[in-house]
Amino acid sequence: MKYVKNNSSWMIGNGCTIDFWRDCWGADLPLIEEVLVESKIWGCCNAKLSSIIDQTGWNAPPLVAEFLAEHGIDLRNLDVNCNLYDKRVSIHHTQGAFTIQSAHETIRSKNPKVW
């Protein structure tokens, strides 16, 4: 699963499957790695991205939008299509598809043959 997370990004739809805190949906790192909070508190942080998306698109309260901007996420620059499901796409395939070939090429480029 770590390989998938490190080699993919999100096409944001309705936000129902994207973890607001733990997924990389608007920046290179998830918010959980950006914010200094005691680990026992993170167990209570279980918001989905859908909590700031409505039928017209982004609908974050001003304080949330400001918080996100402080951590490098500008909602005005992120596409959202609330009529579609979220989709994880490969960053190594031209159409975003996860294929055996794209995974093999990525792994092979990091670990060249030694024989």
Residue 115 lies inside a defined structural domain of this protein: no
Counting the structural domains of the chain, the total is 1
Residue 99 lies inside a defined structural domain of this protein: yes
Give the whole-angstrom CA distance, residue 82 versus residue 13: 5
Residue 33 lies inside a defined structural domain of this protein: yes
Q: Which amino acid is at 29?
A: L
pTM as predicted? 0.77
Residue 100 lies inside a defined structural domain of this protein: yes
Q: What pLDDT is stored for residue 51 in this prediction?
A: 97
The predicted model gives 13-31 an average pLDDT of: 94
For residue 25, the tally of other CB atoms under 10 A from its CB is: 21
Q: What pLDDT is stored for residue 36 in this prediction?
A: 87
| Cβ atoms of residues 78 and 26 within 8 Å | yes
Residue 101 lies inside a defined structural domain of this protein: yes
Q: Which domain holds residue 65?
A: 2-110
Mean of the per-residue pLDDT values of the chain: 84
Helix, strand and coil in the chain, % to nearest 5: 35, 10, 55
CA-only gyration radius of the chain, Å:
16
